[in-house]
Amino acid sequence: SVLEARSMEAVAKYIKQNDVKRIVLMVGAGISTSAGIPDFRSPDTGLYANLAFLDLEEPEDVFDITFFRENPKPFYALAHELYPGKYRPTIAHSFIKLLYDKGMLLKHFTQNIDCLERQAGVPGEMIVEAHGSFASQRCIECKTPYPDEEMHKMVEQGKVPCCGCGGYVKPDIVFFGEALPSSFFDNRSLPAAADLCIVMGTSLSVQPFASLPSLVSDGVPRVLINMQKVGGMGSRPDDVLLLGDCDAGVRKFAKAMGWEEELEALWGE
Ligand code: OAD
């Protein structure tokens, strides 16, 4: 194996000795929970456990395109809560920005729709928003874009925005039953070119995103920062598991690299 031990210290040594600068990150809702945004699948606090008020048969229906076409109201009841602008990036988001500032970030793959990576200062071209985002919206029938201002108003009032053609308007979030954006497929070769992989705050339970870590080349260390072990992480000799919360994990990472103060300063800005 490439690492001397399955520890953060061994990863730090590997980074320094190999002049690592092609880090690929793969993240999910767990990096935003400390900002106050619920994740999806945590047993008590996750969104899917708390949608009883929407009266759905399956909680995932709220993000299902067939369901939305029939009844977009549950989604808009939720959009009201999730709409970006109310939340501050976490130190885990600042950690991603720090990797970028150091010229070590090859690509950031996110399943999150909260835009907090952008808010933390990571440039848009470094981010693959694999499940889309709230940044734009359009009619689900004729695909005509819908103005941001109008969208803000409608979401604030908890109303369903409609297109002139009569179709419902939906943010450019990838729903179940929809294709991922082309940027996901265009960048899917990058994990194989990475010299380090960091998986953070995701249950790795939704395909095709969930298979990204398996595209990392053998012999390239993969670090998991998550509450629990997920996917196939831990199955390779160079996998390092930092089990616990993301903020503590990135602090541990930064400490091993000697970046502690820089990271705290960046987050405090
Ligand atoms: P999940 O809710 O499935 O998984 C979040 C993971 O992060 C779980 O393993 C949690 O234990 C962990 N976690 C939560 N808070 C944490 C913290 N503070 N520190 C460390 N770990 C923490 O969320 P995703 O994996 O992002 O798709 O879900 C994937 C996709 O499923 C979402 O993009 C969404 C959803 O349906 C769509 O809506 C299309």
| Ligand 1 atom index nearest CA of 112 | 33
CA-CA distances (angstroms) from residue 69 to 63, 64, 175, 192?
Answer: 11, 9, 11, 38
Position 66, amino acid: T
Contacts for 61 with CB less than 8 Å, ≥ 6 apart: 67, 74
Q: What is the pLDDT of residue 54?
A: 85
Q: Please, where are the H alpha helices in 102-145? A: 116-119
Instruction: Kindly give the distance from the C-alpha atom of residue 226 to the centroid of ligand 1, in angstroms, as a whole number.
Output: 9
| Ligand 1 atom index nearest CA of 209 | 29
Rounded Cα distance between 208 and 138, Å, is: 24
Average pLDDT, consecutive stretches of 10 residues, N- to C-terminus, the chain (269 residues): 96 98 98 95 93 88 96 92 87 98 98 95 97 94 97 93 97 96 97 98 97 97 98 97 98 98 96
**93 included as an active-site residue:** no
Nearest CA residue ID for atom 15, ligand 1:
30
Rounded Cα distance between 242 and 157, Å, is: 41
Instruction: Kindly give the distance from the C-alpha atom of residue 8 to the centroid of ligand 1, in angstroms, as a whole number.
Output: 23
Are 138 and 233 in contact by the 8 Å Cβ rule? The answer is no
Instruction: Give how far the C-alpha of residue 177 lies from the chain's centroid of Cα atoms, to the nearest Å.
Output: 19
Does ipTM surpass 0.90 in this model? yes
Instruction: Kindly give the distance from the C-alpha atom of residue 204 to the centroid of ligand 1, in angstroms, as a whole number.
Output: 8
Are 236 and 26 in contact by the 8 Å Cβ rule? The answer is no
Rounded Cα distance between 247 and 249, Å, is: 5
Instruction: Kindly give the distance from the C-alpha atom of residue 241 to the centroid of ligand 1, in angstroms, as a whole number.
Output: 17
Are 100 and 126 in contact by the 8 Å Cβ rule? The answer is yes
| Ligand 1 atom index nearest CA of 130 | 33
Whole-model pTM? 0.96
Q: What is the pLDDT of residue 170?
A: 97
Nearest CA residue ID for atom 13, ligand 1:
30
Position 133, amino acid: S
Q: What is the pLDDT of residue 269?
A: 85
Rounded Cα distance between 111 and 200, Å, is: 11
